[in-house]
A and B are shown apart, each in its own frame.
Chain A
Amino acid sequence: EDQVTQSPEALRLQEGESSSLNCSYTVSGLRGLFWYRQDPGKGPEFLFTLYSAGEEKEKERLKATLTKKESFLHITAPKPEDSATYLCAVQAFSSGSARQLTFGSGTQLTVLP
């Protein structure tokens, strides 16, 4: 069974204080790992897809990295507007072509001014 575990559950940072969120996964064969951002009362918003170990992607203050067992979402010099819940999801080869994603429970990030 595919599993995704995100840590920490919640993280409070001061503005400008860089940190990392962790997503550990167990899948039979990874097709892709996805990061989403979710604001309160809204649907998840796509951030990144990573396909293979060693891959990195960046967007503004965010950088996502991938190893064979986990992914990190690095946040550099965060601002209050980066406050949100960050979700990690995996799609495994066992999912067939059905595009089924297995989501983690998320990390709730709060950036204080």
Chain B
Amino acid sequence: EAQVTQNPRYLITVTGKKLTVTCSQNMNHEYMSWYRQDPGLGLRQIYYSMNVEVTDKGDVPEGYKVSRKEKRNFPLILESPSPNQTSLYFCASSLSPAFSWSGGADYNEQFFGPGTRLTVL
């Protein structure tokens, strides 16, 4: 089954304790991305990766790190979590980083993972 998986699904931690949220996709997608979702603010992009070893900042990258050593995995790292990082996090992937006018839904559709609810005390 084609899917994006995230672990853990739920995490409660304390300020300053480093954590990693894993993301993996089995669709051989080039593009992967992390979002956070907060009430009233919608989904905001944290980081994205256009391919292995190619990553860049999104709209709200402060306090986060990512790496893309393998095509299927894109972990999100919080080196020193703070309470303002309490949020619902989603990983997403899509076939290609290039926007295609003729590629149909497969090229431009982003597949989302089930989400990770993080609470930082």
A residues sitting closer than 8 Å to B (CB atoms) are 4, 31-32, 34, 36, 41-46, 49, 51, 87, 89, 91, 97-101, 103-106
Please determine whether A99 and B97 come into contact, CB atoms closer than 8 angstroms. Answer: yes
Please determine whether B110 and A101 come into contact, CB atoms closer than 8 angstroms. Answer: yes
- Cβ 8 A contact of A106, one of B42, B58, B92, B111: B42
- Cβ 8 A contact of B58, one of A49, A89, A97, A100: A100
- Cβ 8 A contact of A44, one of B40, B44, B90: B90
- Complex alpha-carbon distance, A88 and B101, angstroms: 19
Please determine whether B97 and A98 come into contact, CB atoms closer than 8 angstroms. Answer: yes
- Cβ 8 A contact of A98, one of B56, B105, B114: B56
Please determine whether A43 and B113 come into contact, CB atoms closer than 8 angstroms. Answer: yes
Q: What are 19 residue pairs bridging A and B, where the CB atoms are less than 8 Å apart in the complex?
A: A34-B109, A41-B114, A43-B113, A43-B115, A45-B112, A49-B105, A49-B108, A87-B42, A87-B43, A89-B43, A97-B98, A98-B48, A98-B50, A99-B31, A100-B48, A100-B58, A100-B59, A101-B45, A104-B42
Residue of A nearest to B96 (CB): A99
Please determine whether A42 and B114 come into contact, CB atoms closer than 8 angstroms. Answer: yes
Please determine whether A97 and B41 come into contact, CB atoms closer than 8 angstroms. Answer: no
Residue of A nearest to B49 (CB): A98
Given contacts A99-B31, A100-B48, A104-B42, contact A31 B112 (CB under 8 A): no
Please determine whether B115 and A41 come into contact, CB atoms closer than 8 angstroms. Answer: yes
